[in-house]
Amino acid sequence: MMSRAKSMQQKKAPADGITVLLLDDSKDRQAITQTVLEGAGIRAVIKETDPSRALDILREHVVDVVLVEYR
């Protein structure tokens, strides 16, 4: 009989398959945010510090969510 924890690990995470573009000029904040996203089951995180390059990424890739640092 499979334990409940093991059964839950085998289920597909609700966020699996989502691609996130993370635009932030701080690599430290990027790392923290990526850790949080991965904890939610998001594995595809594209990190960028340059807004112009982020626009290029949006033209070149299918992105579901864009997270932008705003000051």
* Strand (E) or helix (H) holding 55: helix 51-60
Q: Where are the domains of the chain?
A: 12-68
Homologous superfamily (CATH) of 12-68 is: Response regulator (3.40.50.2300)
Share of the chain above pLDDT 90, in %: 68
At 15-40, the pLDDT tens digits run 778 999 999 999 999 999 999 999 98
The pTM is what? 0.75
